[in-house]
Structure formats: C-alpha cells, structure tokens
Amino acid sequence: MSLPHPTADQISLPMVLAVLGDPTRLSIVRYLARKEGVPMNCSKFLDLASKTNLSYHLAKLREAGVTRSEAVGTSRLITLRRDDLDKRFPGLLDSVIAAADGDKDLPAVGVSEVEVSA
C-alpha cells in the first residue's frame, strides 16, 4: 500500500454509491470483479478514458474505499476491496456487479483481449 486509503469503518455508503454511479468507474469495478485475484494496472483501462482522466477516476475509487492501489515499481496494482465492502455493506457489491454485468450500456474494458484459455 502507498496511497491514502480509508480504513474499513471510514467507508461511507453515500460516497460508495456516488462513486459507483459513474459509467466509467462502474466499468472499472465490473472488470476488477470479473478478473478478481488478478491485480490490474491502470493501463488496462485506457479504452475507457485518457491516462489523466483514469488517474482521476481511480483516485475516486480508492478514496471511497472501493479499490486498493498498491505501488509496485512504476505501476499501481489495483484490486477490489471486496473483503471490507462485504463487511461494511453485505450483499451490496455482489448485487451491483451482477446488475452491472447485465448492463449493455456500460463501456467495456479489454474488448480486443487475447483470452488465454486453459
């Protein structure tokens, strides 16, 4: 960890909802959920917005307590704070992600991706 994150009990419901109420950020969260366990770096999301703008949105997600950003070399490894969110707001993240998965209007991440199948 490196950048400022709220502790689990500092995470505020209205903040989380407001932060998720943006299509770009909701897409990021959906993608993180889909690839859970695999930490992402910012460049994964360059289809969604410019580098600068991504930095802004990822900071919002981090400051709201939705994601964790760890500095590793020159990269940031971004993960969902599922543990803390589930503890604070049981069921919320799951229902948001399920709903986001069924949302055709959300911008997609990594559409031109090479899928490495087993």
Residues within the interface to its own copies (CB under 8 A): 12-23, 26, 88-92, 94-96, 98-100, 103, 105-106
- Distance, in Å, from the CA atom of 1 to the CA atom of 10, rounded to the nearest integer, reads 17
The pair of three-digit structure tokens given for residue 88, joined into one six-digit string: 């604070």
Residue 2 Cβ vs DNA, minimum distance, rounded to whole Å? 9
From candidates 9, 13, 36, 56, binder to DNA by CB under 7 A? 56
In the bound state with its own copies, the residue whose beta carbon lies nearer, of 4 and 91, is 91
C-beta of 26: minimal distance to its own copies in Å? 6
* Smallest separation (angstroms) from its own copies to the CB of 60: 12
| Structure tokens belonging to residue 79 | 């993960």
The DSSP annotation for 46-106 comes to: TTTS-HHHHHHHHHHHHHHTSEEEEEETTEEEEEE-HHHHHHHSTTHHHHHHHHHHT-TTS
What value, to the nearest 5°, has the Cα angle with vertex 112 and ends 107 and 118? 115
What is the nearest approach in angstroms of DNA to the Cβ of residue 105? 14
Query: Which residues of the shown chain bind DNA in the complex (CB under 7 A)?
Result: 3, 18, 22, 24, 41-43, 49-60, 69, 72-76
